[in-house]
Chain A
């Protein structure tokens, strides 16, 4: 198995993407939890 060329660029691209999308997903979930407590249950129709 040969060493991967441009490994730093590939790692930065893949890990950066995972961090950005993962961080955004967490932000959306937390905001959803916070807002859910302010809104009556009947308005949360996706149970």
Chain B
């Protein structure tokens, strides 16, 4: 409320006295801000460009034909799955070291957003595998290790929802969170460590196996995915922050109620013959 904002009513009279001192700056009743609005618009524009390049401009592949268009979603999604896991492991380590609530919120945020991209990776990978390999799923090293990483993320988020002491829960979640990046390394290197049906790296090598409009479409896929990821991370982090504050407010209210209860004089049982309810303090 600002100094000149709505008049206040006290006992039927209206108080129109201007207030002095700095105006209180009310926060928005949502997780958006001017920066996230710009980020969201940029993400939408990049997604529109990706649709144009990925589905119209880029040519079919010589071997995979049009199925290659799934790559423009699948590969960026896998990369963002790794990025979310990286955020969680980093924030878990920082939380164990610093014990500040922001790191705990970031760890939870990274894992949840990573899980969304893990599902996208698995679904688009299966849909790409059917026309390319002839099967939706095979117990290949890359696919299996990605499924294990996804299960680890589900376990991590389930652990965070357990009804435990908040600090103990955060410690256990942080220990599990530390395992995510080593798992990502296993997923990423699996195509080299074991015989795999999955193709190896396409971009991260000295002679990239992709060029021209296909390379441009894939780069736009990374850009669009990255912007969507950033937008989701910011909003989800703010939700985690709000959840922490709401929990703290609930805890403070419960403690205040307990203290008030302890400070009140001890209740004596009502003498026999008095009407029920008399002498009983309100709840």
| Dominant SS among interface residues on chain B | helix
Pair count A-B, CB < 8 A: 127
Interface size on A, residues (CB 8 A): 33
Query: Closest A-chain residue to B26, C-beta based?
Result: A41
Contact of A10 among B29, B36, B69, B119 (CB under 8 A): B69
Does B243 reach chain A (CB closer than 8 Å)?
yes
Chain B residues engaging chain A, CB cutoff 8 angstroms: 24-33, 36, 51, 54-55, 60, 65-67, 69-70, 73-74, 77, 116, 119-120, 123-124, 127-128, 130-131, 228, 231-232, 235-236, 238-239, 241-243, 245-246, 249
Which B residues touch A41, using CB under 8 A? 24-27
- Give the Cβ gap from B21 to chain A, nearest Cβ, in Å: 15
Chain A residues engaging chain B, CB cutoff 8 angstroms: 4-7, 9-10, 12-14, 16-17, 20-21, 24-25, 28-29, 31-33, 35-47
Which A residues touch B130, using CB under 8 A? 9
Known: A35-B246, A44-B27. 9 other contacts (CB 8 A): A14-B69, A21-B116, A28-B236, A35-B242, A36-B28, A36-B30, A36-B31, A43-B27, A47-B27
- Given contacts A5-B65, A17-B120, A28-B31, A36 and B242 within 8 Å (CB-CB): yes
| Dominant SS among interface residues on chain A | helix
A12 touches B31 (CB 8 A): no
Which A residues touch B242, using CB under 8 A? 32, 35-36, 38-39, 43-44
- Given contacts A21-B228, A35-B246, A39-B242, A9 and B131 within 8 Å (CB-CB): yes
- Give the Cβ gap from A20 to chain B, nearest Cβ, in Å: 6
A9 touches B33 (CB 8 A): no
Which A residues touch B128, using CB under 8 A? 9, 13
- Give the Cβ gap from A10 to chain B, nearest Cβ, in Å: 5
- Given contacts A29-B31, A39-B249, A16 and B66 within 8 Å (CB-CB): no
B30 touches A29 (CB 8 A): yes
- Give the Cβ gap from B222 to chain A, nearest Cβ, in Å: 14
Bound together, the chains give a CA A31 to CA B241 distance in angstroms of: 12
Listed A/B pairs (27) with beta-carbon separation below 8 Å: A5-B65, A5-B66, A9-B130, A9-B131, A10-B55, A13-B128, A16-B127, A20-B116, A20-B120, A24-B116, A24-B232, A25-B232, A28-B236, A29-B235, A32-B30, A32-B235, A32-B238, A35-B239, A36-B27, A38-B246, A39-B245, A39-B249, A44-B242, A46-B27, A46-B28, A46-B31, A47-B26
